[in-house]
Amino acid sequence: MTLAKRACAKKFSRRSMTSGVTPPRSETELLHRAQALAGLTIGDLACSCALVVPSDPRRAKGFAGVLLEWALGAEAGSRPEPDFMALGIELKTIPVDANGAPRESTYLCVAPLRTTSGTRWENSLARRKLARVLWIPLESGPDLSPAQRRIGWPVLWSPSASDEAQLRADWEELMTLLTTGQVGQLDARLGQFLQIRPKAAHGRVQAPSTDEQGAPSTNLPRGFYLRASFTRAVLASGLTLPASACA
């Protein structure tokens, strides 16, 4: 262990991790906090928070997102609400390559497998999480260790009318299959912006669901994901905005 890692590890305590940072009072404060992190590596940020980044990529999965939530003052935790509840802003990290292009689809939220009659796009968890999003790119690649991943320039975004129309159309198409028990018909190719994919560590994990007759059943857990082509356009839109619109 290096001297820097020993210094960080010495300061670490579970209590300091859970105490967190005061939640931001405004969008401007949140954005300025995120902008101040741009250019740092995950190792830099972890050390400033008295943490050590797991060296094994498998153990480090999710670490960067939790670290950024803590450093920025997110307060939702595991609750089904936007990360910055008082501001109604969701935080999403996007693994990107050296050119800033997203490397994969982005997890949005869990997809309900049980009958959810009465749920509409307007009151759905997916829409609440997409209403206002702080996107933070994270450099990623096979040649980078978890600690070497660099934090990119943040983009504070809300969907345009055309974005929301397509997201709604995707959600309604996918939810129709879910609410009628046609889970087996779900395909990752469905949806232009939004798709449903398995969300489990392995195929043996099962979650409660219903079949086409409405009877209790079990199935592989699913989640809503945003396609990389969509998040690529979101990041590009943030780079083309005038500076006044990002402050």
Q: What is the pLDDT of residues 7-24, one digit of tens each?
A: 344 333 333 444 468 999
pLDDT digits (tens, 9 = 90+) for 118-132: 579 999 999 999 999
Q: What's the pLDDT at 232?
A: 95
pLDDT digits (tens, 9 = 90+) for 184-209: 777 778 999 999 988 766 556 555 55
Q: What percentage of the chain has pLDDT greater than the value 70? A: 77
- The Cα 109–Cα 136 span in angstroms is 17
**pTM assigned to the model:** 0.81
Name the band, by pLDDT with cuts 50, 70 and 90, for residue 57.
Answer: confident
Q: What is the mean pLDDT of the chain?
A: 82
Name the band, by pLDDT with cuts 50, 70 and 90, for residue 54.
Answer: confident
Least confident of 5-14, 40-49, 73-82, 229-238: 5-14
pLDDT digits (tens, 9 = 90+) for 141-192: 889 999 999 999 999 999 999 999 999 999 999 988 887 777 777 777 899 9
β-bridge partners, 41: 150
Backbone angles phi, psi at 225, to 5 degrees: -130, 150
Report CA-CA distances (Å) from 134 to 39, 42, 119, 238: 17, 18, 26, 11
pLDDT digits (tens, 9 = 90+) for 72-91: 999 877 777 889 999 999 99
Q: What's the pLDDT at 118?
A: 59
Q: What's the pLDDT at 38?
A: 95
- The Cα 229–Cα 159 span in angstroms is 15
Is 132 within 8 Å of 82 (Cβ atoms)? yes
Integer distance in angstroms from the first to the last C-alpha of the chain?
40
Is 192 within 8 Å of 170 (Cβ atoms)? yes
- The Cα 153–Cα 148 span in angstroms is 16
- The Cα 45–Cα 34 span in angstroms is 12
- The Cα 71–Cα 33 span in angstroms is 9
Question: ∠ at Cα 163 (162, 168), nearest 5°?
Answer: 100
- The Cα 160–Cα 106 span in angstroms is 19
Q: What's the pLDDT at 83?
A: 92
The pLDDT of residue 114 is above 50 = yes
Q: What's the pLDDT at 62?
A: 87
The pairing of strands 133-139 and 90-96 is parallel
Q: What's the pLDDT at 211?
A: 59
Mean pLDDT of the region 51-60: 84
pLDDT digits (tens, 9 = 90+) for 209-225: 565 556 556 666 788 99
Alpha-helix runs per DSSP H in the chain: 3-11, 14-19, 27-37, 42-48, 57-60, 63-72, 125-130, 161-179, 228-240, 243-246
